[in-house]
A = this chain, B = another copy of it.
């Protein structure tokens, strides 16, 4: 853990530098696989699934029987937890529904935006030992609320050709319409181009390793949109003399266990708190099953004392953390000054885990400083807004001459003419 006491403002960028997350060196190899999938479809999906996932499949689509078996395999306690999380995620995302607000910008000129669901969306859920069923909920529930008609999910099969029951159960609960046993570049290619089996989708969501990220970037150029750029997960915790050092340490560690490249930052307003947190981290890390990973992430972690209030706010906003935990007494005062962050956790009883799983907010959030310009996934991510305008004769008479003048200045005579013809007709 690196510690800094009131570092000079011009050193912040260096101190808070994230590891470069540039996957462009993978583009060549990934593009080749994508091109093969685009041109040859299912046969290439089979081939790459056998090569990368080590399993030969007859078919990719998960059957109703497999889903029923998964449901039977999930214990009641997990089902109850998923139900609670589902209810909260639904409540929060339902409240985000935009209204159609029709207005007249001037008499006779009516304009409105209409939110419409993206018809087909693709969700990617990584494999590995831990089944990320929580991400299924975070992506599929808002898609369902938005009204997406096809909600396609891809997740890699294990060596036996199965997807973890918790993922299948969460997908069923959340309203996924089709589930395919496909991982990595194959999954992204299938959902971007469509194959004999997998439908083409219009927007692809979800986390993944560097190959998945490269594939998402490449297909987003010409084929399909994506949720946001990916990068390693991050937390910045703000603490003061009133914070519980054990709670703060546990929050830092819950980020650190994600992986060696996780970014963990503590900002305290005094040195005593910083030292107490360090002591707690050392105690707690020793008890973690993933302690090797966590220790590696901690070695890159940054603990900073910033005594000046304004500097503290500026430093946080400059870093633009994915997760921001404000564990101080007057947390709301600081929260109101935050302009760059993905999701903010307020007070000592709001750990990041709450938002990761069950508070109702989304856990798919902008990393790597993207919080300066991106929102996390939310209901908007599954909608687009179509604008409408309806102009009456009166409206066109009022607005027409301005349009003619502007079109003439831009040397677009046919644009002008579309108005001139109509104004002449109205004058006759």
Q: Which residues of B contact A425 (CB under 8 A)?
A: 244, 247
Indicate if the CB atoms of A105 and B130 lie closer than 8 Å: no
| Cβ-defined contact, B22 with A387, below 8 A | no
Q: Which residues of B contact A282 (CB under 8 A)?
A: none
A323 to chain B, nearest CB (A): 10
Does A275 sit at the interface, judged by CB under 8 A? no
Give residues in A with beta carbon < 8 Å to B. Answer: 21-22, 24, 77-78, 80-82, 84-85, 87-89, 91-92, 95-96, 98, 101, 103, 105-106, 109, 111, 113, 116-119, 129-134, 166, 202-203, 217, 221-222, 224-225, 229, 244, 246-247, 250-251, 253-254, 256-258, 284, 288-290, 294, 335, 338-362, 366, 370-376, 378, 380, 383-393, 395-396, 399, 401-403, 405-407, 409-419, 421-422, 425-426
Docked pose: A344 CA to B224 CA in angstroms: 22
* A130 close to B353 (CB less than 8 A): no
Per the bound structure, the CA–CA distance linking A376 and B290 in Å amounts to 45
How close is A184's CB to chain B, nearest CB, in angstroms?
A: 19
Given contacts A105-B360, A251-B418, 4 further A-B contacts (CB under 8 A): A24-B221, A88-B109, A89-B105, A289-B411
Q: How far is the CA of A395 from the CA of B396 in the complex (A)?
A: 56
- List, in ascending order, chain B residues with CB within 8 A of A129's CB: 411
Interface contact A256-B414, CB-CB below 8 Å = yes
Which residues of B sit under 8 angstroms from A366, Cβ to Cβ? 384
CB atoms of B246 and A399 under 8 A apart:
no
Taking the nearest CB of chain B, how far is it from the CB of A32, in angstroms?
Answer: 14
Contact of A288 among B403, B413, B419 (CB under 8 A): B413
Partner of A384, one of B289, B371, B396: B371
